[in-house]
Amino acid sequence: MARMKFLCDAERCIECNGCVTACKQENEVPWGVNRRRVVTISDGVPGERSISVACMHCSDAPCMAVCPVDCFYRTDEGVVLHDKDLCIGCGYCFYACPFGAPQFPQAGAFGLRGKMDKCTFCAGGPEKDNSKEEYAKYGSNRLAQGKLPVCAEMCSTKALLGGDSDIISDIYRQRVLKRGKGSEVWGWGTAYGKPDNPQAKPPQGAKS
Amino acid sequence: MRTRFGLLLAALVAAALVSGCGEREQVVVYKQGKYQGKPDTKPWDDDPGSALYTTSKWTRGDKASWETAMRSRNQAQNEYTRAE
């Protein structure tokens, strides 16, 4: 199996924030922490695009490189996880991450930071699988249940794909080949198919 | 006989007293670049039926069967195969 990855199709994402909500609900993520969020560029103008962003589980993860206590590890499936018992909440990973994935709960007054929290690809953490301890610290372990991340599985437009990188890139490739590019992507033809008779004219009737 | 027993007793008492003075490592032994935390279990080491609402099926401890289950689960994200 190749590495587990996320892939977000910007042509399909409708900025519904369903992935964000599903992640929060599945993992009971505390207030102030967003493991996943939807980023929109050119908001409100033609050409607007949205993309759902979380930890990208980098193959050469900068968070792993900068962690002073080496609390990060990579699983056999390529998922980047960390041990919260070891994390000191220094925030180095937050500065290193190009996606802003590491999040820090407010642990007290005066901006005191708690231990880092981030997307786990719904793979839990270094505790007994599907145990109460694992759920409390890291959230749901869907991979150990034979499932994929909830954000990708529940995405209504299937903009967000998650899983084995080979398979999801094949799905995306097939999709792009079918739908075409540029203006071919959008419009009546994409939604309802090509008209049976393109030369047909609308019936002329009296105006009401 | 009595002196031997006495000596043995004294040695045992001394050993018990000294055992409290042992110095153990109180902090994580740091090895740069190496993961320092607890080991994690593999997802395929669990029984498929150990969690609620599990639909995928694999053999416990068999990585290949877990991967096959995940591959078929992955295809549920492809609506072209579902629609055709």
Asked if residue B81 lies in contact with residue B75, where contact means CB atoms within 8 angstroms, the answer is yes
DSSP string, A99-117: T---B--B-SSTT-B---B
Q: CB neighbours of B53 closer than 8 A, spacing ≥ 6?
A: A145
pLDDT tens digits for range A28-71? 998 889 999 999 999 999 889 999 999 999 999 999 999 999 99
> How far apart, in whole angstroms, are the C-alpha atoms of residue A132 and residue A139?
9
Using CA atoms, how far apart are residues A12 and A160, in angstroms rounded to an integer?
9
Per CB-CB distance under 8 Å, the chain A contacts of B57 are: 146
Break chain A into its structural domains and give their ranges.
Answer: 4-186
Contacts of A77 in chain B (CB under 8 A): 43
DSSP, collapsed to helix, strand or coil, labels residue A18 as helix
Flag whether residue B82 sits within 8 Å of chain A, measured between CB atoms: no
Q: What is the mean pLDDT of residues B78-84?
A: 79
Distant-in-sequence, close-in-space partners of A143: CB < 8 Å, separation ≥ 6: A4, A77, A79, A121, A122, A123, A124, B43, B70
Least confident of A19-23, B46-50, B75-79: B46-50
B27 confidence band (pLDDT: 50, 70, 90): low
Q: Which CATH architecture has domain A4-186?
A: 2-Layer Sandwich (3.30)
Say what the pLDDT of residue A78 is: 93
A5 touches chain B (CB under 8 A): no
Is A21 within 8 Å of chain B by CB?
Answer: no
ipTM > 0.90 (yes/no): no
Largest CA distance in chain A: 79
Res B33: pLDDT:
78
Cross-strand bridge partners of residue A37: A53
Are β-strands A49-53 and A72-74 bridged in parallel, bridged antiparallel, or unpaired? unpaired
Check if the beta carbon of residue A171 is closer than 8 Å to that of residue B77: yes
Mean pLDDT along residues A108-123: 88
Cα nearest neighbour of B49 on chain A: A145
Residue A134 touches chain B, beta carbons under 8 Å:
no
Determine the residue of chain B that is closest to A177 in CA distance. Answer: B80
Task: Please report which confidence band the pLDDT of residue A201 belongs to, taking 50, 70 and 90 as the band edges.
Answer: confident
Q: Which helix (H) or strand (E) holds A38?
A: strand A37-41
Ramachandran sector of residue A155 (left: φ over 0; alpha: ψ -120 to 50; beta: rest): beta
B residues 21-80 near A, CB within 8 Å? 28, 30-43, 45-46, 48, 50-51, 53-58, 63, 66-67, 69-71, 73-80
- CA-nearest residue to B43 within chain A is A144
Vertex A138 angle, CA A94 and A142, to 5°: 120
Chain A / chain B CB contacts < 8 angstroms: 114
Q: CB distance A69–B42 less than 8 Å?
A: no
Tokens of A161: 């794909």
pLDDT band at A158 (very low <50, low <70, confident <90, very high): very high
* This model's pTM is above 0.90: no
Contact A146/B33, CB-based, under 8 Å? no
Which residues of chain A are within 8 Å of residue B41 when distances are taken between CB atoms? 128-129, 144
Interatomic CA distance for residues A103 and B4, integer angstroms? 67
pLDDT category, A196, cuts 50, 70, 90?
confident
Determine the 3-state secondary structure of A160 from DSSP: strand
